[in-house]
Amino acid sequence: MNSLYRDAISELGSVVDRIDDSAVDTACAMIGAAGTTVLYGLGREGLQLRGFCMRLFHMGRQVAMVFDMTTPPLGPGDLFITCAGPGFLSTTEPLMKIARGAGAKVLLITAQPDAQLAPLADFVLLVTAQTMADDQLATASRVLPMGSAFEGALFVLFEVMIAKLKARLGVTAEAMRARHTNME
């Protein structure tokens, strides 16, 4: 493997090394306790959330993405998960307010410890990584551009969360496979 691949993996490794595992456990507990979970994210963060949503569905969870035709309403006992790596996205704020107003819990995933959206969340899961908010600083990544370190770390985080949720909820790989589409 050439050094560019190793450098990219090293950058991602340094991000995931800083994730607080007890915070991940708290986020998993919120997901496990939720009746319905609805997720929202933009751009490449949104793509990572879509993959996570799919795996939660495979686990038998009642789950959807905001703006999908089949997204159910949220209410008490439900969970809204949103991702705002830079700490604020103008479309995320009103959705967080809607979810809270309906009585749902809100989980925010961000790279910014002082995220402007944090006060609207019941819990903040911090993934300290470069995003578009800080990609022009002198400390910016020399390999992974823009928000790629954050987005790549989300993939790893979500796969670990699925592994933790499988154990927490007693879901088998066979049960997940049985929920995979046969329309391929």
Which residues have a catalytic role annotated?
151
What crossing angle do the helices spanning 3-17 and 148-169 adopt, rounded to 10°?
60
CA dist 38 to 29, 106, 127, 137, 141, Å? 15, 10, 20, 34, 32
Neighbours of 33 (CB within 10 A): 11
Strands 36-40 and 123-126 turn out to be unpaired
Question: Which two structure tokens, joined as six digits, stand for 84?
Answer: 């705002």
Cα–Cα distance for residue pair 99/60, rounded to 1 Å: 22
Cα–Cα distance list, 150 to 47, 72, 166, 175 (Å):
12, 29, 24, 30
Q: How far apart are CA 153 and CA 142, in angstroms?
A: 16
What kind and span of H or E run contains 155?
helix 148-169
